[in-house]
Amino acid sequence: MREWWIHVSLICIPLVAVYLHIPPPQLSPALQKWHSSGEVFLFRGRKVFYRDSYGALGSSDVVILLHGFPTSSYDWNKIWDPLTQRFHRVIALDFLGFGFSDKPAPHKYSIFEQASVVEALVTHLGLSNQRVNLISHDYGDTVALELLYRSDQNRTGHLILNSICLSNGDQQV
């Protein structure tokens, strides 16, 4: 019975080998469409996926959508079209390590870095001097709060916030 680990290894090693050779599943048509309508920008040498749509005529409002954990910008798929009817520009990104963005390993992911990713995207899109609205969910709430802190500190190069909507965040005080 002392060699139980040998038996476990003999079972686990082939299972892991099979698992490593299973191809990833095909994307659904809706997810393929989402991916093909997006773009990528580089943040510190890493690819970050985002989607940027122009919408309502006569509006100058920009909204940036920050997704939750462990999901992606696709969370906003069902409300994308209604948002484009209200806002001039609707933007969503996949945080580093999520969705279609790079997933570097090993890497120390942090809320601070994700907030910097959002700021870099705003700069990349030429929106540094424009007021933006944030709608966030879950993990995105914490990133939004970091962006709010940076904005309140009046640090140059940070977002100019018009409004923030935090959805399903932790309400503990």
pLDDT (tens digit per residue) in 77-101: 999 999 999 999 999 999 999 999 9
Q: Are 104 and 96 in contact (CB under 8 A)?
A: yes
What would the 3-class secondary structure string for 57-75 be?
CCCCCEEEEECCCCCCHHH
Answer yes or no: are the C-beta atoms of 140 and 109 closer than 8 Å: no
Q: What is the pLDDT of residues 123-168, one digit of tens each?
A: 999 998 889 999 999 999 999 999 999 988 876 667 889 999 998 7
User: For the chain, what percent of residues have pLDDT higher than 90?
Assistant: 68
27-167 falls under which CATH superfamily?
Alpha/Beta hydrolase fold, catalytic domain (3.40.50.1820)
Q: Which long-range contacts (CB under 8 A, 24 or more apart) does 104-108 make?
A: 104/46
Q: Would you state the pLDDT for residue 173?
A: 41
At residue 153, the pLDDT reads: 83
- Name the pLDDT band for 8 (thresholds 50, 70, 90): confident
Its pTM stands at: 0.83
User: Taking all residues of the chain, what is their mean pLDDT, rounded to a whole number?
Assistant: 89
Residue 95: CB atoms within 10 Å: 26
* Domain locations along the chain: 27-167
The predicted structure's pLDDT at residue 171: 52
